[in-house]
Amino acid sequence: MSRQFLTHGDGTWRASDFASLGDNVIFESGVMVFHPDHIRIASNVYIGHYSILKAYYMNQMVIEDNVWIGQQVFLHSAGDLTIEQGVGIGPRVTILTSSHADPGRNRPIMSGELILAPVRIGRFSDIGAGSVLLPGVEIGEGTQVGAGAVVTKSTPPYSIVAGVPARVLRMR
């Protein structure tokens, strides 16, 4: 049995395509947006060169006020993604909200059921360059995620986390 793939489009968009778009939102060149009708962006938001905002046909991506998103960031919101106010996201960060259940040894992992899990980044947090946030994590308010960290579980407010997998180093 062959699998049929469907396109999500080419990532081009117009401001009127978004569910909502605030004032002073800067999209640098090369930003691609998929399913903008499921994306809400507040005011004073910067989105760096060649970033990808990949919403889904259901659930939402919400980016609140005063957020800075670096270059080549990949944001995925099939399972819901909320980035609260005053968050900084470094270059090349990847945030995922879905994974596949294990279908058993005799089938490709991609054929497993799609599991959706929301990600929330608390206000005033900073996500270091090259970090990866996996489905279902909540980054507590004011948390610093170190560069290159892989966050597999939620973090307490005002913590500093780093490593693979990320762990709490100390509180700030």
Question: What residues does 20 pair with on adjacent strands?
Answer: 40
The count of other CB atoms within 10 Å of the CB of residue 141 is 18
Cα 39 from Cα 36, distance rounded (Å): 5
What is the mean pLDDT of the segment spanning 75-90? 98
Distance of CA 33 to the CA centre of its chain: 13
pLDDT of residue 67: 98
CA nearest neighbour of 1 among 103, 102, 111: 111
Choice among 35, 49, 76, 100 that is catalytic: 100
The rounded percent of the chain whose pLDDT value lies above 90 is 92
- pLDDT class of 2 with cuts at 50, 70, 90: low
What is the mean pLDDT of the segment spanning 158-171? 98
Nearest-Å Rg of the Cα atoms of the chain is: 16
8 among known catalytic residues = no
In the sheet that holds 119-121, the strands lie side by side as 20-21, 39-41, 61-63, 81-83, 119-121, 138-139
Give yes or no for residue 100 having a pLDDT over 70.
yes
pTM: 0.95
Give yes or no for residue 141 having a pLDDT over 70.
yes
What is the mean pLDDT of the segment spanning 76-82? 97
Task: Note if the bond before 165 is cis, omega within 30 degrees.
Answer: yes
Give yes or no for residue 3 having a pLDDT over 80.
no
Give me the CATH code for the 15-171 domain, please: 2.160.10.10
pLDDT of residue 6: 73
CA nearest neighbour of 164 among 150, 154, 153, 143: 150
Give yes or no for residue 89 having a pLDDT over 60.
yes
Give yes or no for residue 7 having a pLDDT over 90.
no
Give yes or no for residue 1 having a pLDDT over 60.
no
CA nearest neighbour of 70 among 96, 54, 38, 94: 94
